[in-house]
Amino acid sequence: MKKNLLIAQSGGPSAVINATLAGVIERAQMSGEIEKILGGIHGIKGVMEGNIVELDLYNTSRLGLLTHTPSSALGTCRLKLKNDPEEFKKITDTFKKHNIGYFVYIGGNDSMDTVMQLSKYCESQNMDVRVVGAPKTIDNDLEEMDHTPGFGSAAKYIAASVSEIFCDVMAYEVKTLTVVEIMGRNAGWLTAAAALSAANGGPAPHFIYLPEVAFSDEKFLRDVRSQHEKTSYALVVVSEGLKFANGKYVCESDNQTIDAFGHKALSGTAARLTQLGKAEIGCKVRPIEFSLLQRCAAHIASATDVAEAKVLGSVSLSAALSGQTGVMSRILRKSSSPYRVEYSMVETSKVANNEKRVPVEWLNAEQNHVNDKMLEYLFPLIQGESQISFKNGVPEYFPAIR
């Protein structure tokens, strides 16, 4: 008797996590080996709670719409398994109740820890459920692979938006400091992607500060002042996770912002650095946080990223169908120019709970910008424009599945 497939999504949303979901569904539909395709709502939490829906999406145009819809259509959670028998029992009860033979979990490194633990548990219980992962994170911080799906689209959004912000700030004659803050608490991949704004010969950010390098207020002010000797505007891109040499986050500095209600508030890194610039340099300042926009702007997704994300979903299910468990799909790069990749599976134990950070050899000598190695790495990942459908003047997206 054929088994059913269960799919769930986890962690922070991205522009292409639904493309991976669509890839799994499409592969399942073609396989002939799967009875029903089910979705777990709000990640492993929903699986535990038995919150399961049937994904009745056997229509190509619906799958196409899902492919281009940002964020997690099935909902997400931020739950890390505690290696607790109670939790495993709840999950496997759901598996039994719904006759699950395959579970595909799409997420980042916490989610791969779930895949690892759960596959071991199922094996230990002699349960015939193949548990596999598919990668997802805009942060690009997963080990054992060239890059993660979601990253390229966020990078493209950032590169395009920085190029447009440049058009804006260059229009003024007065001295200004604009600081753009990018997501990525520990890894500076996305922040580095701002350098791609110069892909057509336009200006690159004057300085790029990554969390991999200890931040210094003095160096920052020196850098900005040196730029102001050349242009009236200085445009700086920073990671939200910048830290001083003493390990403190820049956004949690001692002189912390007190919010309107008397509580200590985490003001953003960009906010603090523009306050510093205003106090010390006296120019007009503007902090800009890309916030959620960088991870959900599917209208400017990278076509390369969307296509790869979909393939990864398909590859993950193929592995499960061929009997693998405890593994996840990944992309490896064969060459950058021409851009060639290959897909394979990797043990989740090698990926879970690790973070891949930017190598300092990909930064310039002053460590306040990236060098050509980084640009060569980034460039292929933002190529191609995703063909989303606009209707009534706004993008048309797949409704949330609940």
Active site positions, annotated? 139
Site string for its own copies, 202-221 (x = CB under 8 A): x-------------------
Tell me the C-alpha distance between 342 and 344, whole Å: 7
Structure-derived torsion over alpha carbons of residues 279, 287, 78, 22, reported in degrees to the nearest 10: -160
Kindly report the backbone phi and psi dihedral angles of residue 82, in degrees, each rounded to the nearest multiple of 5, phi listed first. Answer: -100, 15
376 scored as a contact of its own copies (CB under 8 A): no
Contact 395, 71 (CB under 8 A): no
| Binder among 238, 261, 281, 334 for its own copies (CB under 8 A) | 261
Stretch that binds its own copies, among 120-128, 157-165, 184-192, 323-331 (CB under 8 A): 157-165
SS3 category, 357: coil
Judged by CB under 8 A, the chain residues 77 through 96 that form the site for its own copies are: 77
Judged by CB under 8 A, the chain residues 21 through 60 that form the site for its own copies are: 42, 45
Q: Locate 27 and state its tokens.
A: 């592969």
297 scored as a contact of its own copies (CB under 8 A): yes
Of residues 272 and 330, the one with the C-beta less far from its own copies: 272
Stretch that binds its own copies, among 94-102, 166-174, 183-191, 312-320 (CB under 8 A): 166-174
71 scored as a contact of its own copies (CB under 8 A): yes
DSSP 57: -
Stretch that binds its own copies, among 92-100, 182-190, 264-272, 351-359 (CB under 8 A): 264-272
Per DSSP (E only), the strands in 210-338 are 233-239, 284-289, 327-336
| Binder among 53, 82, 125, 292 for its own copies (CB under 8 A) | 292
Of residues 85 and 201, the one with the C-beta less far from its own copies: 201
Tell me the C-alpha distance between 325 and 339, whole Å: 30
Stretch that binds its own copies, among 26-34, 118-126, 278-286, 365-373 (CB under 8 A): 278-286
**CB count, 10 Å around CB of 244?**
14
Contact 388, 395 (CB under 8 A): yes
Contact 11, 136 (CB under 8 A): yes
